[in-house]
Amino acid sequence: MPALVRSVQASTVHGPSGTASRGAAQPGDLLLAWQSADSGGHSAIQLSGSWTVLDEYGGGFWPGSGGNNWSGITLWTRTCAAGEPTSYTVSQGSVADGVIVIAAISGAVAASLVVAHSSSKIAPTATPSSADGLELRYCSGVPSPPTGGAVSWSTPSGYTVETAAQSGNFTSGVLVSKPIISTLAVGEVGFASAQIVAAGSFTVLIAASAASGGEPPQPPVVQPFAPGKGSSLYRYVFTRLLDRTYLGDLDLVGVSFDKRILQAGQFSATIPIPSRRVGDQVAEIIPRDETYLDRGPGVITCQIYREGAPWGEYWITAAQPARSRRGTPAIQLRGSTLDAYLAHVEIQSDLPFSAVDQIEIARGLLVHMQGRPHANIGLNLQTGTSGVPRDRTYLASEGGTYGQRLTELAQVDNGFEWSINLEVINGALQRRWVWGYPQLGTLDPPPHLFSDGRNGGDILEWSEEIDALRGATRWRARGESAGDASTTGSSLISTAHEATDHLAAGWPRIDRTLSYSTVSVLQTLEDYAAFWAARASGALRVDQVTVTFGQLPSLTPNNLGDAARLYFNNEWHLPHWRTRRIIGIAITPTSRTDGKEQARLVLEGTEVPGA
């Protein structure tokens, strides 16, 4: 469960006592209260209701006050209880002006709070205890006496202002927040206010009560010997995407599903409806009308099991019931791997990363996405780092999606690969985000073997596509435009990265300039251009083989990235072995209408954006 701000309420008090109100809260919420005052001494700052002091700054010299100190800030905490009061009594100096800010935080781990304070308008650095949580920064201070004045604050970049308040012409305070998306230390944050002459600041880091969506609910138990419904191998289990509630099994025909590295895989199938009884069963998963909002395309997934082992999960996004002139009704289903869901959730908060490992950035994006309302799909995130730091800033105004930014992050020079697998780990079924640097999979020795020989083999078909215009011999990357709506500006652009070996061998100059319109850092564009020059120069080859599987194949959709040894001896190929990485797999399972199981393997080539 993500740590979220449920409510923030600011109150002001003039004189020795008053009332501080809180906003909405639920039992178990973490309550935090920052209390500050300008005069009367720090010890006079008190708050009723069994609050505990979490941290405090005792105040300091108040310029212009004739040598006096201002009273400083106390940070109180407690856990919201059943019947929690909606207000509390505040005590302070007899003529003091005070500000009290009370925040209610849901999904917080109170025992893992990290707190630090300073005696200035700069909130100090601190290190989160978890990569999933909430960062709060608070600053309070006083303007110059004897008359004081209205105080204004500027918002630190990348933070959301939760509240700002001022008591009379004196004590003022401001609270801002931001999601925690990494275990790296958060830096200092400065609060700018021309009127404040003395201040204190707090950094509070709150860990979420469960990492990355928590434990996913379990699907129905599938014994290793259990046959798939409708075939001897495959079973199709339908669940809800967000809470993974089991909806039922369906008998599918005409099934095909595929999966690729750094691309969303596709799923298609048909549900035959030979009778009203079967139609009623299907309607529990694909409703007959739009009044049922808790099932149907957009809400459900199809989990695929082969011999009881999970082979993939597909987000069902389209269904088409129909009947031809002959026959009974059927429903066509279409869907995509969960990678596709990431491409449909927009980044609507600014997310800056400075000198952060590229894997930490990727995990940070996913943690942030799953912390948004109705976007937690329960991904379990592989740990570790690549040792490659990056600078990235993702702005809400760009309209980019989490999936788009993850793919762009991976496809740079010295980048990485990632995928989402459906796996059983320690007896629990998990949606697991996995990564590999620089690549996924096992290469040496190749764990898979297929052959096409004179006397047969398990390779049923093969093809080799060679296309010179899919690549180039000079590469550039174009970024953000330097102009605005009223001017004609030039775009930031990298230098040209050449395929020197190809040009020396007699290749002509073939130019490609790829567009990354949101990139404003020149070095990032250079990395993109260098990546494609090294990976996609000359004539690009796309090799595919279609193979037949045995009962217990070594290759599954969760093994993408592995190398395979292929033996060819036919009318075109002289006898030889070749080794290729498998970057995609498209499977046609057995069914009632087709007893042959086939897998089309996409072997490593290169896909260039816009090609």
388 Cβ neighbours under 8 A, 6+ residues apart: 357, 358, 414, 415, 416, 437
DSSP 387: S
CA contacts within 13 A on the Cβ side of 298? 7
Give the CA distances from residue 186 to residues 139, 203, 210, 355, in Å, rounded to whole numbers and listed in that order: 16, 9, 21, 12
Separation of first and last alpha carbons in the chain: 41
Instruction: Name the one residue in this structure whose structure tokens are 């020197």.
Output: 500
Q: Report the run of H or E that residue 605 belongs to, with start and end.
A: none
User: How far apart, in Å, are the Cα atoms of 34 and each of 165, 228, 300, 418?
Assistant: 12, 59, 44, 43
Q: pLDDT tier at 601 (50, 70, 90 boundaries)?
A: very high
pLDDT at 177 over 50: yes
Structure confidence by residue, pLDDT tens digits, 231-290: 457 899 999 999 889 999 999 999 999 999 999 999 999 999 999 999 999 999 999 988
d(CA 431, CA 280): 30
Contacts of 585 (CB under 8 A, 6+ apart): 258, 259, 260, 555, 557, 560, 599, 600, 601, 602
| The CATH classification of domain 342-436, taken from the options 3.55.50, 1.10.10, 3.30.1490, 2.60.40 | 3.55.50
Mean pLDDT score of the chain, rounded to an integer? 88
**What pLDDT, on a 0 to 100 scale, did the predictor assign at position 313?**
97
- Report percent pLDDT > 70 for the chain: 93
Kindly write down the DSSP assignment for every residue of 68-116, as one continuous string. PBP-EEEEEEEE--TT--SEEEEE--TT-EEEEEEEEEESEEEEEEEEE
Place 330 in a pLDDT band, splitting at 50, 70 and 90. Answer: very high
Q: pTM surpassing 0.85?
A: no
**CA distances, 133 to each of 121, 204, 371 (Å):** 24, 11, 9
**Percent of the chain topping pLDDT 90:** 63
Closest to 313 measured CA to CA, from 97, 605, 557? 557
Question: Could you confirm whether domain 448-465+540-603 is CATH 3.30.360.10?
Answer: no
Grouping H, G, I as helix, E, B as strand and the rest as coil, residue 397 is helix
Q: What is the pLDDT of residues 17-61, one digit of tens each?
A: 999 999 999 999 999 999 999 999 999 999 998 899 999 999 999
> Is residue 221's pLDDT more than 90?
no
pLDDT of residue 224: 39
- Residue 89 is which amino acid? T
Q: Which range is least confidently modeled, 80-89, 254-263, 445-454?
A: 445-454
| Contact call for residues 102 and 20 (beta carbons, < 8 A) | yes
What type of residue sits at position 264? A
Compare 540 and 21 and report the one with higher pLDDT. 21
Paired tokens of 201: 């600041």
- In one-letter notation, the amino acid at residue 413 is D
CA 348 to chain centre: 12
Residue 131 predicted with pLDDT over 80: no
Backbone angles phi, psi at 277, to 5 degrees: -60, -45
Nearest to 123 by CA among 50, 39, 191: 191
Task: Classify domain 234-337 by CATH architecture.
Answer: Beta Barrel (2.40)
